[in-house]
Amino acid sequence: MNQTTTAPGSADRQQAFLAALADLDQWLTGRRIPYVIFGSVAASAWTDQGASLDFDRPGARDPADRIPDIDLLVPRASLPAVQSYARAARSGAFPVSIDTFWSACWIDFRAGQEHSYLTHRRVRLPVRTVVFTPCTASLFGHGITVLDPLTLLHLYGTVGVTRRKDRLRITALTAATKAAAPARFTGTDCDAFTRFRHARRRRYPLFFAAKHAWVMLLDALPPAIAHALIHHVQQRANHAFHLITSRAGQPGHGSANSLAHSPM
């Protein structure tokens, strides 16, 4: 990892963030680890080339919390190495948060195979891997590797409850799906995400009730307090969920493409 000097201003943090993305791409590509970025960074790249991203988040408890998270989708077999890199990146000269929770808990990404799997403990549904095909979108004039906007849109729906801050982004993504080049898959291929959401609701209703209450709480609080809660509570909750999932023997763990963790 290149060492980047911590920058004092929002514009400088933006440039350092781009450098961190380039370092991450170089590291993953050098180790032949397939990956795509999703979440707010990818959505903003498709909709406004990064203009809506906040590089001076209120209530930040450490430097990495001031800037957007990098939500990363990688194969589960690669998670130990990627998580080691993520720990080093968070404690580097310019700390960034690389989030692999979805890769560990929700999406068993199997690059090069016909199907990947959407997972939530005992729920496991196939989805065509083509929906995770890497695309290039522009972030502040730099190309980054992201999910197709149609897949991103369906991932927001998979969460099952939408934060107020994400509603405009979802509207913009809907428009981006119409303006983007035709994908190599269709909306029918993305029906798996809807089936996954329904299956999770049926199997784990208390999880969704708690998730809904948590989102309503965050939206009702001032941004600084909401960010502080995310830092102190949500990260620990994600870690606890990952441990529960692993100990429950979620199907797929232990296989060649599986782990031997957040929400967007």
% of the chain exceeding 90 in pLDDT: 57
pLDDT at residue number 240: 62
User: Mind listing the pLDDT tens digit for each residue in 172-181?
Assistant: 999 888 877 7
User: Mind listing the pLDDT tens digit for each residue in 203-224?
Assistant: 999 888 888 888 888 888 887 7
Report the pLDDT averaged over residues 108-128: 96
Residue 256 has pLDDT above 80, yes or no: no
Give the up-direction half-sphere exposure of residue 187: CA atoms within 13 A in the CB hemisphere: 4
Domains of the chain, residue spans = 10-247
Q: Would you call 249 exposed, middle or buried from its count of C-beta atoms within 10 A (0-12, 13-18, 19+)?
A: exposed
Cα distances (angstroms) measured from residue 136 to each of 22, 63, 96, 145, 196? 13, 28, 21, 5, 27
Which is nearest to 241 in space by CA: 263, 215, 260? 263
What residues contact residue 167 under an 8 Å CB cut-off, 6+ apart? Answer: none
Residue 8 has pLDDT above 60, yes or no: no
Q: Give the residue carrying structure tokens 């429950």.
A: 248
Report the pLDDT averaged over residues 16-23: 97
Beta-bridge partner residues of 139: 142
pLDDT at residue number 13: 92
Report the pLDDT averaged over residues 148-173: 87
Torsion of Cα atoms, 65 then 68 then 69 then 75, to 10°: -170
What 3-state class would DSSP assign to 62? coil
pLDDT at residue number 155: 93
Which residue did the predictor score with more confidence, 24 or 61?
Answer: 24
Cβ proximity of 75 and 257 under 8 Å: yes
Structure tokens at 80: 């130990």
pLDDT at residue number 128: 97
Which is nearest to 156 in space by CA: 225, 233, 102? 102
Structure tokens at 218: 């965050």
Model pTM score = 0.82
